[in-house]
Amino acid sequence: MGKCVWSYHDARYTRLGLMICASCGNAIDSGMYRSRDAGDRYVNHHKACSLSDKKWTEIDAANKNRIAYLRERLSASVAFRTKWKMCDLDDEINSMTTEIAEADRLLEGGV
Ligand SMILES: [Zn+2]
């Protein structure tokens, strides 16, 4: 038997196959899920339905690190903008805020 090779996706951006969870039978509408190509179809699982997969721990840790980094950078950018009354950082501040919200959503929900 070959080893299953899973890939990990955000349902909001990447949709593979029928997007039905092979574990619980429900639709995968949002959050993270894993997928493997079974040749004629994709086998997908909600994150919540495949938590025994150690890869989720890695993905969560990477997201937490990224959020921590972004939060620090965001607060430094906001302080800089306030002090120097510059609007140059507006776009970056907005995109960091969005990215933090996105990462938070994936960590919490996952379903
Ligand atoms: Zn499921």
Same domain, 29 and 62: no
Neighbours of 47 (CB within 10 A): 22
Same domain, 38 and 65: no
Domain of residue 39: give its range.
Answer: 7-46
Same domain, 42 and 69: no
Whole-number Å distance, alpha carbon 63 to ligand 1 midpoint, is 22
**In-domain check, residue 16:** yes
pLDDT at 85: 84
Q: Is the separation of the CB atoms in 106 and 63 below 8 Å?
A: yes
**In-domain check, residue 1:** no
Whole-number Å distance, alpha carbon 30 to ligand 1 midpoint, is 11
Q: Is the separation of the CB atoms in 12 and 32 below 8 Å?
A: no
Whole-number Å distance, alpha carbon 23 to ligand 1 midpoint, is 5
Same domain, 61 and 98: yes
Same domain, 27 and 63: no
CB-based neighbours (< 5 A) of ligand 1, an ion: 21, 23-24, 46, 49
Same domain, 33 and 60: no
Domain count, the chain: 2
Whole-number Å distance, alpha carbon 85 to ligand 1 midpoint, is 49
Give pLDDT tens digits along the chain (111 positions): 457 899 999 999 999 999 999 999 999 998 999 999 999 999 999 999 999 999 999 999 998 999 999 999 999 999 999 999 888 889 999 999 999 998 888 877 544
H or E stretch covering 43: strand 42-46
